[in-house]
Amino acid sequence: MEDMVIANEMNKNNLRQALLKNHTFILFIIMACVMIIGSIFVPSLMQKDNLLNVLRLASIVGLAAIGSTVVLLVGEIDLSIGSIMSLSLVTGGLMVGYGSVPALTVTCLTGIILGIVNGVFVTKLKINSLMVTLGTMSVFGGLANVATRGQSIFLYDSPLYLWLGRGYIGGIPVPVIIFLSVGIILSLLLRFTKTGKEIYFTGANKRAAWISGININKIKITAYAVSGLTAALAGPLLSSQTNRITPIQGVGFELSAIAVAVLGGTSLSGGKGTVIGTILGALTFQLLLNILTLSGVGTYMEQVLKGFLLIVIVVVYQVVDKPRG
């Protein structure tokens, strides 16, 4: 009996310890504080329309960030997310005359293929992934422009595209539904499949993973394919906000995606992070930007805050991760 009490007490202590070291938990607290303080100073924050808007925008960057998370989990990086987004949008956009469904299918397939190209370069050429994706970022981005001769493709005749970005299902914006579904599915896949487990192990220790019999090349290529797919999925949601596909739509998204993933507690050194964390990261990120916009600080302050937040949060994570003693 007494043993059980002690064990219980120990569990409680462990739980408290674990929570304090859990990035997702820390972020959750931060987000809650942001919401509370924000709603006091900026009452319009809590209005339904505003919150839905925050959710919608968070979903778009969040989707791309989920892919980024998976790549970071295997201990690599993907700087080509923005360009994959542009190029896959464009290839789909060129098909839009055949209907929205074929176009969207082509978009997704392009995303996956481009992701695989990244993965193959990283694993077969054995080049640092930062370099590979820096290169493919240029190449894919250039191809997107070449394919459309720099022109926009308008989507007024493609209601499905517009619905994806602006529609509602049961009062919830469609992007939010897509974002959460993809997030939950990937989160479950990471937890409950062999590949998911192997992604974490590979990221945590590549050599040990290899010696343990994991095909680390296959795992890395898979991660890049996922990243390509989520970037491609985020594209149409973004396009429909402006009714058009442009070949530069994704520019800069790679850095936002990485920032959100890192904000969500994903480690740059691999093997650490969760999709749920990234979802929270996207929400916190967008919420803060929204508060700043509403309080009239000006859109440019958003940039400053984005950078500041990124550095500060990573420093906080670094501090809580320091081993005791």
Partner 1 sequence: MASDTASFNGKSIISIKFIKDNMLVFILFLELIMGVILSPVFLGKSNIYSILINLTIFGLLAIGQSLVMLVKEIDLSVGAIMAFGPIAAIALSKKILAVSGTEIIVGGNYVVDGLALIVVLVLFISALIGVLNGVIRVKAQVPSLIVTLGMLYVLSGLSYILSGGYSLYLTNLEGAKWLGNTKLASIPVNFILFLTVGVLVILVLKYTKVGHRIYSTGGNEKAAIYSGINTKFWKVIAFGLSGLCAGISALVYSSRLESVETIQGSGYELISIAIAVIGGITLEGGRGKIFGTIIASAILCIMLNILSLVGLIAWYKTIIVGLIIIGAASQHAFSRRTTE
Partner 2 sequence: MQEPLLFLKNIHKQFPGVKALRGVDLTLEKGKIVSLVGTNGAGKSTLSNIIAGIYPPDSGEIFIEGKSVTISDPKVAEQLGVGIVHQEPTLALNMTVVENIFLNKELTRNRILLDLKKMKQESEKVLEFLGFQINVDKKVEELTLVEKEVVAIAQAMLVKPRILILDEVTAPLNKGEVDHLFKIIKDLRNNGMGIIFIGHKLQEIIEISDSIMVFRDGKNVGELIPSEKLSEKEVIALMLGVTLNEDLEAGEKASESEQREEVLNLINLSKQGLYENINFTLYKGEAVGFAGLKGSGITELFQSLQGIITFDDGEMYVKTRRVKFKNPKDGIDAGIGMVTNDRQKEGLALTLDVKENISVSSLKYLLNKLKLIDTKLLKDKAEKYVQALSIKTPSINQFVQNLSGGNQQKIVIAKWLLKNLDIILVDEPTRGVDVKAKNEIYKLLLNEKNNGKSLLVASPEIRELLNICDRILIVIGGRIVAEVHRNTKEFNEEDILSIIHSSHHYNTA
Positions touching partner 2 (CB under 8 A) are 10, 14, 191-194, 196-198, 200-201, 204-205, 207-215, 267, 271-272, 323, 325
Distance CA 203, CA 214 (A): 12
Q: Which does 296 bind (CB under 5 to 8 A by kind): partner 1, partner 2, none?
A: none
* CB nearer partner 2, residue 15 or residue 304: 15
**Of the two residues 140 and 200, which places its CB atom closer to partner 2 in the complex?**
200
| Residue 77 binds: one of partner 2, partner 1, none (C-beta under 5 to 8 A by kind) | partner 1
- Strand pairing partners for 245? 153
Q: Which tokens is 234 given?
A: 């985020």
The one of partner 1, partner 2, none whose footprint includes residue 88, by CB under 5 to 8 A per kind, is none
Tell me: does residue 278 bind partner 1 (CB under 8 A).
no
First to last CA, the chain: 33
318 binds, among partner 2, partner 1, none (CB under 5 to 8 A by kind): partner 1
What does residue 244 show for φ and ψ, rounded to 5 degrees?
Answer: -150, 155
Picking from 186, 203, 232, 230, the residue whose alpha carbon sits closest to that of residue 76 is 203
* Residue 44 near partner 1 by CB under 8 A: no
* Tokens (6 digits) for 96: 């839009």
**Is position 180 an interface residue for partner 1 (rule: CB under 8 A)?**
no
Token pair listed for 248: 């530069």
Residue 128 CB, nearest distance to partner 1 (Å)?
5
Give Cβ neighbours of residue 231 (< 8 Å, ≥ 6 apart). 63, 64, 67, 81, 82, 84, 85, 88, 111, 115, 250, 253, 257
Query: Given the complex with partner 1, which of 17 and 303 has the nearer CB atom?
Result: 303
Of 269, 296, 323, 324, which one interacts with partner 1 (CB under 8 A)? 269
173 three-class SS: strand
CA distance linking residue 284 with residue 287, whole number of Å: 5
Q: Which two tokens stand for residue 91?
A: 């290839």
- Measuring CA to CA, which residue among 125, 121, 76, 28 is closest to residue 258? 76
54 binds partner 1 (CB under 8 A): no
Shortest Å distance, C-beta 81 to partner 2: 25
Least Å from the CB of residue 32 to partner 1 = 23
Q: Which is nearer to partner 2, 201 or 224 (CB)?
A: 201
Burial (0-12, 13-18, 19+ Cβ within 10 Å), 119: buried
Q: How many CB atoms sit inside 10 A of residue 157's CB?
A: 10
Interaction of residue 298 with partner 1, rule CB under 8 A: yes
Q: What whole-number distance in Å separates Cα of residue 229 and Cα of residue 235?
A: 10
Q: Does 121 bind partner 1 (CB under 8 A)?
A: yes
Asked if 130 interacts with partner 1 (CB under 8 A), we say yes
CA separation for the pair 250, 85 (Å, rounded): 5
Q: Is position 242 an interface residue for partner 1 (rule: CB under 8 A)?
A: no
Q: Per CB under 8 A, does 204 bind partner 1?
A: no
Q: Which of 4, 300, 324, 325 binds partner 1 (CB under 8 A)?
A: 300
Q: What are phi and psi of 173, to 5 degrees?
A: -60, 140
Applying CB under 8 A, the site for partner 1 has a residue count of 45
Q: Can you give the binding site for partner 1, defined by CB under 8 A?
A: 77, 121, 125-128, 130-132, 134-143, 145-146, 150, 255, 258-259, 262, 268-269, 298-311, 314-315, 318
